[in-house]
Structure 1
Amino acid sequence: MAKSDYFKRTNLFWMVSVTFAVGYFSCIVFAPELIPFQQLGGFGSFCKHLVDNYAGVMYKGWWAAFAVHVFEACVALKVCRKKGIDSSATRFLWFFQTFLFGFASLGLLLKYDPEHPKRR
């Protein structure tokens, strides 16, 4: 694989975990009526308390998390350029994956060393 085309999919564990966490957080912020808090035990009680008492903070936190993911995705583009990944399609894949999964993706890109490829 040419260094200009280097892409590595993030671990399935992180894909599932981040998708679930962001989805749950989004539901808590934008559609809390969909969450069966009483069926989630102590965690549900805690989340219900946050919804009832800190909805504004949760809303701002959601937008902050969104902004962090956008920032990480932009950093991924800069790192791609620095590491010689110049394929537009590959750079888009890094941008999109990092936007969705954050540091779980960006960490893979930061670890990539085009000067010393791994031996198999």
Structure 2
Amino acid sequence: MKNNFRSPHLFWWLIIPGGIGLIFLLGHYPNVIPFQYLGGFGASSSWFALKNHILLLVVFWSIVIAHGYEAIIARRICQKLNLDQKSTLLWMIQTFILGFPSLKKLKGQKHRYE
């Protein structure tokens, strides 16, 4: 069976998980981040973690919920395209991690195989 899985550019794999990881650490474990070695970014991140702790938690969990919903949408699109289980699982995992760039790539697949 033909492999129907495509991955977005490496740029998205670096930016999105890195940003989500940073928001997670700032909201849940700010004491593990060495702010003093990060210059201006560290000072502003430290201030943001101290002053806006609840906002960081809300943003993080909103991202998780949104990416979960996008993964469900990816599953529905894969079902409409009659993709095999392996491809569907890969699309769902990738969409949960990356969100919109993966979903956009999957919708491009839709136009190609209809």
TM-score by length of 1: 0.84
Aligned residue in 2 for 1:109: 106
Q: CA deviation at 1:96?
A: 0.6
1:95-117 residue CA offsets vs partner (Å, 9 max, x unmatched) = 011001111211100111213xx
Q: Which has the higher helix share?
A: 2
Is residue 2:85 matched to residue 1:88?
yes
Separation in 1, partners of 2:52, 2:27: 10
Aligned residue in 2 for 1:22: 20
Q: Which runs of 5+ in 1 are unaligned?
A: 116-120
Aligned residue in 1 for 2:9: 11
Q: CA deviation at 1:39?
A: 2.1
Root-mean-square deviation (CA, aligned residues, Å) is 1.5
Give, as a single letter, the amino acid of the residue that structure 2 aligns with 1:45: A
Structure 1 outlier segments of 4+, above 4 Å:
none
Separation in 2, partners of 1:72, 1:22: 16
1:59-89 residue CA offsets vs partner (Å, 9 max, x unmatched) = 111110100110110110111122332x111
Q: Which runs of 5+ in 2 are unaligned?
A: none
TM-score by length of 2: 0.88
Aligned residue in 2 for 1:58: 56
Give, as a single letter, the amino acid of the residue that structure 1 aligns with 2:62: A
Separation in 1, partners of 2:86, 2:81: 15
